[in-house]
Chain A
Amino acid sequence: MNLSIDLECCIGCGACAEYCPGHVIAMNEENHPYEKYPDDCWYCGVCQIECPADCIQMLFPYLVR
């Protein structure tokens, strides 16, 4: 996993999933974002910039940390 997504503050708007250029993020049945394809992340940070509630932080995968 690359991201820390704080579901407590997430408003379920789906912007992170909509704008992720690599289709890494999807929304689950509870309308929460999750990393569906974590291996395809470029660590570009679009998800955290687009999050209107500031719920996403880039953690980087373990080998990059």
Chain B
Amino acid sequence: MERQRLIETDFLIVGGGPAGCIAAIRAKEINPDIRVTVVEKAEISRSGSAGRGMDALNNVVIPGVSTVDEYVEAVSIIADGVIDPAISRVIGERSFGILKRLEQWGLSFPRDEKGGYIVNQFHPKGRFLVEIRGDMKKIIARETLSLGAEIYNRHVVLDLIKDGPRIAGAIAFDLSDGSLKTFVAPAVLLAAGGAARIGLNSTGYLHGTFDCPWCNGEAYRLGYEAGARLTGFDYTGIAMMIKDFNCPGLSTFIRHGAWLVNGLGERFMERYDPVRMEHAPGGVRTKAMLEELKARRGPVAFSFSHLEGRTLDLIESGIYEAERPTVRQFLQRRCIDLRSQPLEVVFSEVYLCGGHGLTGMVADRWGETDVPGLFAAGDCLANPYGFLPGAMCMGEAVGERVVSKAYSRPDDNEVDERLAVLESAIARHRKGALNVPVREFEYKYRRLVNEYVAPPKSGSRLARFLKETDAMVKDQDDLPAPDPHGLIKVFEAKSGLFSARLAALASFFREESRFGLYHDRVDYPEKDDANWQTRVIVHRGPDGPVLEKERT
């Protein structure tokens, strides 16, 4: 296998989504001489879960509309009291600056007749949501390039390098020719997304997931192996999705006043959360939906027919133009007119995500993990329901920290050893002694997630998942990878299985029910604040994962 020269940089960013790009921009703004390198699996103008676009900043603290304290309170309600408020506070403080930055770059945010931003409610309490118009990811990528960040598109980081306790760089795989590149850097930002392919989705296609399917827990695995602490794996998210397409629209529909109705036409949230109704936390909403289906009052759908024409115009322009234009084609194919017909929704697969949930690396208010020089931002950081603004706010904080702290150049004495291990692992996959296609392997662990990890959970089923997947852990290093693309799919599947097992372990550990459906334990049906209003932390111990409670 061809080895290329060591590439030295001051700040290595793993993942060129919104978090990674804003980190690069901020570092270069403060110090144009700093060498910033972005390693991106796709192409940065269209990469990540926001690659096509996004129709709203869900959480911006607009002066005069809301306060940072109100924002932290709203997030705490969604997270059932189990958050580290420090990160949410940073997001609240920085979010308006991010909006102004995006506006300056050419994105627009609808305003009312008096010139103020139109701010909608999505959270259970408070108004923080501002709609976006414009092609966001292209604009952010353009700014990243204009400041001189060096971009390695179609490269995937497979391993991190350390120098004693501190970070020292990473080894990346070049998808174009299958070679390895080593980056030596005193500061590394992991911004490579959450884990989308955990449960098995109902569309019949493994990549037809709610969240971006090309991020499958690789950042969680890299951070864990480097020694970072992680949390939120007990928060196994499930979203309401447009049936068969498995495409979201929830935030758009709810903020504009759409109703959730059952097969009898009843607005069923009245039965479960009569005050907050559709604005109830996601786990409460999905649990209500499950109850309706169990009572044979399905199908469940969003109903729009009571809304005014101009509101429907806003919904359609948001989901068709700012987010995914393919929704329009899907609905046209199905002859579904939102103005007169309900839109059926189903459960998504289980996913793990920092921005749409609680799962990710634990970090300080600058995004730095317990490993000196290793940072996290975006969906791989525990930034509870930080959504898109959370990714960008924490990216900005990381960029500032990396420049101001001026990390010294690490020794790279681990490089040869790590390269040898990685080359040996890749050679083993090329041989592929297991002779089982990676898709079959992935289908199996995801089917097992649905059977044993997806809520409602029980200790016996969670233990069963771990037992059933022990053999898969042994098998995984012999999965065949006939070409560079196949190798990436193997690493994604291994990271997915790794993340699913952490989800089972953390869910087993939390002996109570919390987060609505998301951690509904049939063997511990009550919420137990006295013992469990804590985060569940997981980190790498000498004999495997170690789990701990951490009161926040």
B residues in contact with A50, CB < 8 Å: 46
B residues in contact with A39, CB < 8 Å: 205-207, 439
Residue B208 CB within 8 A of the other chain:
yes
Residue A12 CB within 8 A of the other chain:
no
Residue B508 CB within 8 A of the other chain:
no
B residues in contact with A41, CB < 8 Å: 205, 207
* A46/B46 in contact, CB under 8 A: yes
Q: Which of A16-62 contact B (CB under 8 A)?
A: 18-23, 36-37, 39-46, 48-50, 57-58, 60-61
* B51/A63 in contact, CB under 8 A: no
Measured between C-beta atoms, what is the minimum distance from B31 to chain A in Å? 30
Residue B244 CB within 8 A of the other chain:
yes
User: Which chain A residue lies CB-closest to B244?
Assistant: A64
A residues in contact with B205, CB < 8 Å: 39, 41, 61, 63-64
Interface residues on B, range: 20 to 34
Measured between C-beta atoms, what is the minimum distance from B528 to chain A in Å? 39
Task: Tell me the interface secondary structure of chain B in the complex.
Answer: loop
A residues in contact with B509, CB < 8 Å: none
Partner of A64, one of B51, B203, B213: B203
Partner of B214, one of A21, A57, A60, A64: A21
* A49/B325 in contact, CB under 8 A: yes
User: Which chain A residue lies CB-closest to B439?
Assistant: A39
* A23/B175 in contact, CB under 8 A: yes
Partner of A21, one of B42, B206, B245, B324: B42
In the bound complex, what is the Cα–Cα distance between A47 and B193 (angstroms)? Answer: 22
A residues in contact with B42, CB < 8 Å: 19-23
* B46/A40 in contact, CB under 8 A: no
In the bound complex, what is the Cα–Cα distance between A49 and B47 (angstroms)? Answer: 14
A contact set with B: CB distance below 8 Å: 18-23, 36-37, 39-46, 48-50, 57-58, 60-61, 63-65
Given contacts A36-B485, A58-B329, 7 further A-B contacts (CB under 8 A): A42-B212, A43-B330, A45-B326, A46-B52, A49-B52, A60-B245, A64-B208
Jot down 27 A-B pairs with beta carbons below 8 A, ordered by A: A18-B43, A19-B43, A19-B46, A21-B42, A21-B214, A22-B213, A22-B214, A23-B175, A37-B485, A39-B439, A40-B207, A40-B213, A40-B489, A42-B214, A43-B245, A43-B330, A44-B326, A45-B324, A45-B326, A46-B51, A58-B329, A60-B330, A61-B204, A63-B204, A64-B205, A64-B330, A65-B333
A-B pairs with the 3 shortest C-beta distances?
A: A21-B42, A63-B204, A45-B326
